Structure 1
Amino acid sequence: MSDADDVLDGWERSEFASAGITHDVYRRGTGPAVVVIHEIPGITPKVTTFANEVVERGFTVVMPDLVGTPGKELSNTYAAASMVKVCVAREFATLAMNQTSPVIAWLRALARSVHAEVGGPGVGAVGMCFSGGFALGMMVDEIMLAPVLSQPSMPFAIGKARGADLNLSPDDEAAVIQRAADGCQVLGLRFAGDKLVGDRFATLRQKLGDAFIAVELPSSSRADHSVLTEQRDDRSVERVLDFFVEKLQTEPAPS
């Protein structure tokens, strides 16, 4: 049995193509749709553990496989190899400022497709690390009701300006600001000492005002980064799950 067969037991794999981009997608559950977008290096066991918890709270979860080997454990070598792939792939705007990563158009199409199938008031999404800001870009669509940004780290914070940039084009940023003004809340999570996040939380507060809900955790070491997975904070995981329930469920999830 492969790593993916073991870790992703019960998940259905399919392929989704849109906007000139094709990726495998893993799906499980019932109820409103939530897109769980993995961090570097890929869909690790701890990412899948979190995604299973979202399923258990009454959601249809789709996990895109953007880079890496699904089910493979984190290691320094594996993370470095995935980082290289992210840096060279044209679908990720890793350094460019004031630019929406092309993969976000693909993610928006994926969310619309699953929502059309499963229904509900809208969809949710959570991005982590390099994908941390992707849910913000997906907020351009009105069906995005529960965007979660966990340690958003793109464009990579090389210099103060990049560290404050939201990885959005001017038009997409304006649409996101308007949606926030109309009442769509954004949940953000980070360790306070995480340098990879830069000053993005300050930018989010400035542009989104009270619509931005910040969860900032004390750092116990310089390695603290992955709030929902590798350096998991259980209370933050519950906060994310509750946010999805609050925004997306119109009736109690099945027991």
Structure 2
Amino acid sequence: MTTTRDLRGNPLNDRGDRDDRDDPLDDFVRRVVDVDGVTKTVYVAGSGPAVVLMPEMPGISPDVARFGRWLRDAGLSVYLPSLFGVDGAYPSAEAGERVVRRACVSAEFRAFAGGGTSPVVSWLRGLARLAHSECGGPGVGAVGLCFTGNFALTMALEPAVIAPVVNHPSLPLDDPAGLEIGAEDAAAVAGRVERDGLKVLAYRFENDAWCTGQRFAAYRALLGDAFDGRVLSAETANTDPPPFFRDVVGCAHSVVTAHLVDRDGHPTVRARDEIIAFLTGRLGAQAPG
């Protein structure tokens, strides 16, 4: 993965200059992490038990970074891996569509039905092991968003992952009732749920074309009562999201990022706070004094 940057290390957009709405991510430590010979950039911030926060399409947007900062401020160490797109870039429609097309044909991802578990999850499990060794605590949280939504579940095959959050999972793109997981992994996850009492928290908007009620029903069929799927009214979504979400996604979708309304008491803010409470409770984190 190649990211074009200016002389200060800030990400450049397709025109070769920075958009004022981009996020420089300069309050994160930029690391290059090697897992089994594969290296990826990971942005790290905070202290306390670790959470692997995976980006949504089309990458580590300012809204994804904002959510990472909320986790950091709640007393968690955030590990934010760069999996696609330009790090920190504001989500434009044209550039975002190109990122989606590249990801859909990448060997790292299984975007369509029948593909099974995406290979990149093996790398993410290794990142979770590393984060646990560095941060300690009872285990690690994993938060997936959109394209990476289900990765939080399949990461739970790593014993260190004890708090998976599956947000508006969009894969497989061509099967609204499908799950992005191989049969063997599905059986193993269900076994861990039964054996270890694992709980899975999930969110979606109603009428989301990319994450349907059929998909949540499939999670419930696999995980039973361990799956806590929560649905927000589409009318509560931010009506002025970035262009990629307005023009390409085209519906209420990203509960705690692009479609969040940052106002006290708002349903999307309550969802954010519920996720943070789930993670801090399971991981034993304490907000900085």
Within 5 Å, give how 1:154-165 maps onto structure 2: 154-156=171-173, 158=174, 162-165=175-178
Query: Counterpart of 1:71?
Result: 88
* Aligned counterparts, 1:109-124, within 5 A: 109-124=126-141
Residue in 1 that maps onto 2:257: 229
User: For 1:54-69, what aligned pairs fall within 5 Å after superposition?
Assistant: 54-69=71-86
Aligned mates of 1:31, 1:7 — CA distance in 2: 24
Aligned to 1:61, the other structure's residue is in SS state: strand
Equivalences for 1:124-143 in 2 at 5 Å?
124-143=141-160
8 A Cα contact 2:209 2:251, kept in partner: no
2:140 & 2:74 partners in 1: Cα distance? Answer: 14
Structure 2 CA distance, aligned partners of 1:165 and 1:188?
16
Match for residue 246 of structure 1?
Answer: 281
**1:218 aligned onto 2:233:** yes
> Distance between the aligned counterparts of 2:275 and 2:221, measured in 1?
22
* Deviation of the 1:254 alpha carbon: 2.2
Task: Verify: 1:206 aligned to 2:221, yes or no.
Answer: yes
Deviation at 1:88, TM superposition (A): 1.4
Contact 1:191 1:219 in 2 (8 A): yes
Choose the corresponding residue for 1:36, options 30, 45, 53: 53
Tell me if the contact between 1:42 and 1:69 (Cα under 8 Å) persists in the aligned partners. yes
Number of the residue aligned with 1:166: 179
Q: Of 179, 183, 190, which aligns to 2:204? A: 190
Gaps of 5+ in 1: none
- Tell me the distance in 1 between the aligned counterparts of 2:113 and 2:34: 25
Aligned to 2:69: 52
The change in CA–CA distance for 1:99 and 1:19 in structure 2 (over 3 A counts) is farther
> Which position in structure 1 is the counterpart of 2:125?
108
CA shift, 1:178, in A, is 1.3
Closer/same/farther in 2, CA of residues 6 and 231 from structure 1, 3 Å limit: closer
Residue 99 of structure 1 aligns with an amino acid whose one-letter code is G
Q: Which runs of 4+ in 1 moved over 3 A?
A: 3-7
Q: Deviations over 1:163-209 (max 9, x none)?
A: 22221111211111112223100001000110111321001111111
Question: SS of the counterpart of 1:148?
Answer: strand
The one of 161, 167, 173 equivalent to 1:150 is 167
Relative to structure 2, which stretch is displaced further, 212-221 or 227-236? 212-221
Rounded Cα–Cα distance in structure 2 between residues aligned with 1:200 and 1:7: 35
CA drift of 1:17 comes to: 2.6
What is the aligned length?
250
For each residue in 1:2-46, what CA deviation from the matched residue of structure 2 results, as whole angstroms up to 9, or x when unmatched? 358953122111112325533111001111110010001100111
- Are the counterparts in 2 of residues 155 and 167 from structure 1 also a CA contact under 8 Å? yes
In the superposition, the TM-score normalised over structure 2's length comes to 0.82
| 8 A Cα contact 1:150 1:190, kept in partner | yes
Letter in 1 for 2:211: V
Note the residue ranges of structure 2 that are not aligned, 5 or more in a row. 1-7, 13-21, 238-249, 261-267
Structure 1 residues 6 and 227 mapped into 2: Cα distance closer, same or farther (>3 Å)?
closer
Return the offset for 1:51. Answer: 0.3
